Structure 1
């Protein structure tokens, strides 16, 4: 073997050894980085597992037993009996219908009204910051405060609305005792309370639109409504999709305002699904059956959310391809 061949083999062996050392060093650094990351994440991960993952698993197990609030019946396995009972439970389906009616009516209003308020405030008007605060302020109030305010407004005789109508010689409106009007009262309360969040999201989206686009449209002769229709609204499509998805999910979870304002009445006309689940679990003490209802309702919300997301994604792809 020549001296040149020995030198080449020695250089190759040295290079291979260095590469292996470099790989080991990189692996140790990567392992230390991963370990550091896991140590930072571990506290949240433990809390997430203890307070979310485990209750979800435990609740799903409860739905197959005749479980009561005192823990009785935890060994009485029912299989799918709770789910079979649910299929024929007229009270559950009525509560689901109330929830869907609330969602279908309130969601479009909350989206359109928020867009309109954002369009007004986004313009160069006096006291712009004051209007932003006024429109958003109700959203930060606790639901107990909101329902207290509106229960006084809806009170017959001396309430703000009925008192004004009486002074004008008009008849009172039975806001909280008429089954056909109680849901309207809940919707009005919810709009006043939650429209501020959608308003802020829309306002943030409008502020990302370049003023140069509006200037170019004005030069081309586009008026105010034309700029809103052909520029603002199309450029806010992503924000609108986000707001609609979040709003539908939030509306389907209707509970606190009806529970505090009407207690689900009159004649269960405002009792939502979550309210019925609460009554079943903590009034009738049937936690197993309440758990079964919770998971069926969770599947319904999941299907609605996934369907909305798929529809929005399809529309976005069509828009990009157009």
Structure 2
């Protein structure tokens, strides 16, 4: 199909052929693509330089004996991976990471849901409650960790002072292998629960009020509404929070390193800290890279398992 262009001077109209129309469309798309790539290019450059290239180079280093000085860059095959799989410290740090993930994820989901429900029910001074629950999340990890180091001080800390008032003996929270991990988990709960609380509160506000009104007409009480309306409606948000929390907990490093340096006796050392120590304290970049990629493979497996489980439940 062709189009005609009307000329006001009286000349006969010029007919545009289908080939010309298609050529013009191709030129327009090419121009749009060039403009689009011009806008995207800065991000692509930064993405490649600071994510893709480090991933590729780190994977290459895992097959070498390179040190922090640059020496020993020759290829040694899978020797680093074989050594890591035989390394008891690597396995213990990996178990510490998984244990921290289990201990932190469950209360961070449950407590944030309870706080969101309390605020959503209309507690007096809602702005103060929201600010109080979310404010710790805005603190830097160093500030939050130092605050709890003072709280856990065996002689002068507030925690032992309160426990002593009810007749409990003083506990060296960060120096006792039995309590150190739990102490870090409590600090992490106080520090990060505000983010999950905000997600839950937003989801609660998006539940249609008509559902509660209709159920109330049918005689449903608050507990029945919670079980039959609120919890099911929060399902997608809960899945999102669980996934984000597991991934965040698996990468734990800051608060543990600041509060316990991985001790006492390696009781709280996470795998990320062992990667750091192997690379920057032991000067073995190749070995540290191998541990990092073993850990990366574990995260991928966990993520795939979560996705399949979520998809199966949704179906």
> Counterpart of 1:118?
116
- Per the alignment, residue 31 of structure 2 pairs with 32
For residue 199 of structure 2, what is the aligned residue in structure 1?
Answer: 201
1:266-297 per-residue CA deviation (whole Å, 9 max, x = no partner) reads: 01000000011111111011110000000110
Alpha-carbon distance in 1 for matches of 2:92, 2:78? 22
Q: Hey, what's the Cα distance between the residues in 2 that align with 1:22 and 1:61? A: 50
Return the match for 1:224 from 218, 222, 226.
222
TM score, norm. by length of structure 1: 0.92
Contact 1:64 1:288 (8 Å CA) reproduced = yes
Distance 1:293 1:189 in 2: 27
1:221/1:95 CA distance change after superposition, 3 Å:
same
Match of 2:9 in 1: none
2:135 corresponding residue in structure 1: 137
Look up the match of 2:169.
171
Alignment of 1:82-121 (within 5 A): 82-121=80-119
State the Cα distance separating 1:163 from its structure 2 match.
2.7
* SS of equivalent residue, structure 1 residue 51: helix
The runs of 4+ residues in structure 1 deviating greater than 2 Å are 14-17, 163-170
Superposed CA deviations along residues 74-109 of structure 1, whole A, max 9, x for unmatched, are: 1x2210000010110000000011111111121111
Distance across 1 between alignment mates of 2:133 and 2:175: 29
Task: Evaluate the alpha carbon distance shift between residue 170 and residue 112 of structure 1 in structure 2; reply closer, same or farther with a 3 A threshold.
Answer: closer
Structure 2 stretches of 5 or more lacking a match?
5-12
| 1:305 and 2:268 are equivalent in the alignment | no
Residue from 139, 156, 160 that aligns with 1:158:
156
Aligned to 1:254: 252
Whole-angstrom CA distance in 1 between matches of 2:181 and 2:295: 21
| 2:236 aligned counterpart, secondary structure | helix
CA displacement, residues 233-283 of structure 1 (integer Å, 9 cap, x when unaligned):
101111011010111111111111100000000010000000111111110
CA gap of 1:67–1:165, structure 2 versus 1, over 3 A, is: same
Shift of 1:302: 0.9
SS in 1 for 2:169: coil
What's the offset of the Cα at 1:15? 11
Aligned residue for 2:64? 65
Partner of 1:320: none
Figure out how many residues of one structure are paired with residues of the other and give that number: 304
Gap regions ≥5 residues in structure 1: 1-10, 318-322
Judging by fraction of residues, say which structure has more helix.
Answer: 1
The 2-side partners of 1:57 and 1:51 are apart by 11
- Give the deviation of 1:170 after TM superposition: 3.6
Find the counterpart in structure 1 of residue 50 from structure 2: 51
